[in-house]
Amino acid sequence: MSELVEPILDWYDAHARDLPWRREGASAWSVMVSEFMLQQTPVVRVLPVHEAWLERWPTPADLAAESSGEAVRAWGRLGYPRRALRLHAAAVAIVEEHAGVVPDSYDVLLALPGVGDYTAAAIASFAYRQRHVVLDTNVRRVLGRTVSGVEFPARSVTKAERLVAAELLPADAPTAATWSVAVMELGALVCTADRPRCESCPVVTLCAWHGAGRPAYDGPARTVQTYAGTDRQCRGRLLAVLRDAPGSVPKTQLDAAWDLADQRERCLASLLADGLVVEAGDGRYALP
């Protein structure tokens, strides 16, 4: 399996995208913000929001000093806005417990609000050049195809996947950190979920899946996300009204944002329960 490492590193050296959180001198906070924003959101949508966020809040302390509602407002239309609340909560914890410095320990990062295994490993690897197994969707797909010969990995990370990833991880910590982001980039640009560009892959001759004739996925049905007409869309419409308002808005303004009353009321209740919206009194609503 070690034969995969050098050609993928060489490919990354020649083809890596110039992303602000990867540049020399990028802060650990920039890396952390990018990891929160990139969850289930493509890079092209994240770039302008990340830039605006870092300009407004260049440190965790800057964000922690503002209300969580301002974080939701600045999140804009990235989707899954609970990530904004969690990032704000993490910034508060970093200020209160770590003197405003993003921790460099995987275990300490894991204890922050909104930080799971992947995010903790990614921040420790990409911000602090440490050696950790970093398994996102792209990495899992690349390793599943090249090593295990399957088109798509299982729905959740398996022990076997972790073992494969750990065995491939270079011993040198900085090289391991580069390897992790290189595999991720290969999955994002070449070994994509749909229409993979095998002709451009630096390890196509070593790929078990390609060598087996690219057998079709035969596991459980893959979930295809829809958006139009869903509660996600309804919640987004309601939040958009509040984001665009300087203060609280009357209930009638929210009612005008979505025609289906039952769905609208259900979604408003869920936004209140999630802490993304608060009641401001007199039948008015606002961001927290």
Task: Indicate whether 5 and 148 sit together in one domain.
Answer: yes
The rounded distance, in Å, linking the Cα atoms of 235 and 51 is: 25
Task: Indicate whether 108 and 165 sit together in one domain.
Answer: no
Task: Indicate whether 144 and 200 sit together in one domain.
Answer: yes
Task: Indicate whether 143 and 11 sit together in one domain.
Answer: yes
Which of 128, 152, 187 corresponds to the end of one domain? 128
Task: Provide the token pair at 265.
Answer: 């009321």
CATH of the domain at 24: 1.10.340.30
Out of 3, 24, 35, 55, which one is annotated catalytic?
A: 35
Closest CA to 210 of 142, 274, 139, 270: 142
Domain count, the chain: 3
Task: Provide the token pair at 69.
Answer: 């509602």
Task: Indicate whether 21 and 115 sit together in one domain.
Answer: yes
Task: Indicate whether 97 and 46 sit together in one domain.
Answer: yes
Which of 128, 153, 186 corresponds to the end of one domain? 128
Task: Indicate whether 179 and 43 sit together in one domain.
Answer: no
CATH of the domain at 236: 1.10.10
The rounded distance, in Å, linking the Cα atoms of 153 and 139 is: 10
Task: Indicate whether 150 and 8 sit together in one domain.
Answer: yes
Task: Indicate whether 21 and 124 sit together in one domain.
Answer: yes
- Looking at the whole model, is its pTM more than 0.85? yes
The rounded distance, in Å, linking the Cα atoms of 135 and 122 is: 9
State the residue range of the domain holding 49: 16-128
Establish whether 35 is a catalytic residue.
yes
What are 101-137's pLDDT values in tens digits?
999 999 999 999 999 999 999 999 999 999 999 999 9
Q: What is the per-residue DSSP string for 178-244?
A: HHHHHHHHHHHHTS-SSS--GGG-TTGGG-HHHHTT-PPP-SSPPP----TTSHHHHHHHHHHHHHT
What are 139-193's pLDDT values in tens digits?
999 999 999 999 999 889 999 999 999 999 999 999 999 999 999 999 999 999 9
Which of 128, 149, 177 corresponds to the end of one domain? 128
Task: Indicate whether 20 and 78 sit together in one domain.
Answer: yes
Helix (H) or strand (E) holding 94: helix 82-98
Task: Indicate whether 20 and 124 sit together in one domain.
Answer: yes
What are 212-266's pLDDT values in tens digits?
999 988 877 777 778 889 999 999 999 999 999 989 999 999 999 999 999 999 9
